[in-house]
Amino acid sequence: MTRLTEYLLPTEKQAPADAEAISHKLMVRAGLIRQMGAGMWSWLPAGWRVHQRVVAIIREEIDAIGGREMLMPVLQPAEPWRKTGRLGIEELFKLTDRKGSELVLAMTHEEAVTFHAAQTISSYRDLPLILYHFQVKERDEPRPRAGVLRTREFVMKDSYSFDRDRAGLEARYALHVEAYDRIMRRTGLRFYRVESDVGMMGGLGAHEYMAPCPAGEDEVVLGEGYAANVEVARNSPEIEVGEDGEYVRDGETLTVEPAIEIGNIFKLGTRYSEPLGATYLDEHGAELPIWMGSYGIGPARVVAAAVEQFADEHGISWPVALAPFAVHLVAIGRPGTPEHDAAEALYRKLREARVEVLYDDRDAGAGEKFADAELLGCPVRLTVGRKSLESGRAEAQIRRGRREAPGVALDAEPQALQRAIEELCASAP
């Protein structure tokens, strides 16, 4: 049941005092997240619904390119990290158990998945392969900030490709590029795919998926047919960096825009397979290292980027694909009044029509209910009050732009009601 009288949606009039990013302010105010400690956030019911919308889109697209979902542990032996040379990473949480065994809390899962590949892949017949999971990551972040944008604990989808050679890696990398592009388009975000540095991951090349917004902690350099993060642009022989900080390419002055990194993909090559002994036998019996790729995307960052890009002065304005509910139904009138009874009847029919609806049935004023609806930002708001009884229709508003829309007949059958809601959602920008 999604009645607000029975739901946990603790909205706030004021943002946290330390909040600077729009997503931090609005996600707390809208009752989506709450902080437990520095960089440690809980997702409340409505917020988790949005997070899982992103997860569902990602899962569908990775499955579509042949990904096989699994689950690997966060708590891992330190030895594989020592073998790859990554045990010394400052942000990696390290601990020992009661027996004195060295352990880590994984911030990414290259070591784990390569460990399993070394055990299970033996022949060229086992390749190619794409494995992925959604799992918690832990990061000893020195400066947690901006709500869920920079945290110490977060969920990430990471997939890993395994191939015979570089040509196979390039093919699997191209599949992930196509899948990530589709994911971004389906979420409704504005995004750039930019060249990036391999960083601590290592390997042969990488790209980042960046969502432009003022709260972005990264910067992208953009021009006609060119997109790269600032580190790559500064080190590119085709880019001139002027004394005033301008980037120039072939006579064109490039623009620099702040953005949120929401995904990254890496051509790892044999960076992990060689130290961890992940090999296969080819047709001639020769033992060769497996070529790997790594592909990450953060659902929480996608959620925050959507808030940043589409919020207005009244609150969040979700893309239809990510909204916690398609419809926010507001009842104007106290329990026992005809208008409240009409709202109850409409709620039951919306549920029968399998419309995802949040029903504000609280004994509260219209102003408070409307303010909370705008703050939460579901694509369509339906209001049932005295006017509705006179017209026989629930009033409708499209959240994006606060645009009035054709109302919904109170006496509509569930199927007709479902079609009407689908049309309203389709009309939302």
Three-class secondary structure of residue 329 per DSSP: strand
- Spatial strand order of the sheet with 93-96 comes to 75-77, 102-105, 93-96
- For the chain, the C-alpha Rg in angstroms (whole number) is 25
Whether 247 is covered by a domain: the verdict is no
Same-domain pairing of 144 and 200: yes
Please check whether residue 210 is in contact with residue 259, taking contact to mean a CB–CB distance below 8 angstroms. Answer: yes
In 188-272, where does DSSP find H-type helix?
230-235
Output the pLDDT for position 428: 83
CA distance 428 to 153: 34
Output the pLDDT for position 201: 61
Q: Which helix (H) or strand (E) holds 51?
A: helix 45-64
Q: Which of these three, 310, 339, 355, is where a domain ends?
A: 310
CA distance 128 to 290: 10
Please check whether residue 281 is in contact with residue 122, taking contact to mean a CB–CB distance below 8 angstroms. Answer: yes
Token pair listed for 359:
């029903």
Same-domain pairing of 266 and 343: no
Please check whether residue 373 is in contact with residue 330, taking contact to mean a CB–CB distance below 8 angstroms. Answer: yes
Whether 242 is covered by a domain: the verdict is no
Please check whether residue 137 is in contact with residue 157, taking contact to mean a CB–CB distance below 8 angstroms. Answer: no
Q: Which helix (H) or strand (E) holds 63?
A: helix 45-64
Same-domain pairing of 284 and 339: no
Neighbours of 57 (CB within 10 A): 20
Same-domain pairing of 421 and 301: no
Domain of residue 33, CATH code? 3.30.930.10
Same-domain pairing of 263 and 402: no
Neighbours of 254 (CB within 10 A): 22
Question: Which residues of the chain register pLDDT less than 70?
Answer: 1, 198-203
Q: How many helices (H) and strands (E) does the chain have?
A: 12, 23
- Spatial strand order of the sheet with 357-360 comes to 357-360, 327-331, 380-384, 393-398, 403-409
Output the pLDDT for position 336: 86
Lookup result for tokens 């191209």 = 174
Same-domain pairing of 284 and 402: no
Output the pLDDT for position 229: 87
Same-domain pairing of 218 and 278: yes
Token pair listed for 281:
């036998």
Cis peptide before 128 (omega within 30 of 0): yes
Output the pLDDT for position 333: 87
Same-domain pairing of 275 and 404: no
Whether 386 is covered by a domain: the verdict is yes
Q: What is the pTM of this model?
A: 0.93
Same-domain pairing of 106 and 197: yes
Output the pLDDT for position 84: 96
Output the pLDDT for position 225: 85
Whether 231 is covered by a domain: the verdict is no
Please check whether residue 377 is in contact with residue 316, taking contact to mean a CB–CB distance below 8 angstroms. Answer: yes
Output the pLDDT for position 291: 98
How many domains, the chain?
A: 2
The C-alpha angle 280, 284, 290, rounded to 5 degrees, equals 20
Output the pLDDT for position 285: 95
Please check whether residue 261 is in contact with residue 230, taking contact to mean a CB–CB distance below 8 angstroms. Answer: no
Residues 6+ apart with CB under 8 A from 41: 33, 34, 35, 147, 148, 151, 153
Output the pLDDT for position 202: 61
Three-class secondary structure of residue 44 per DSSP: coil
Parent domain of 158: 4-222+255-310
Long-range contacts of 242-246 (CB under 8 A, 24+ apart): none
Whether 239 is covered by a domain: the verdict is no
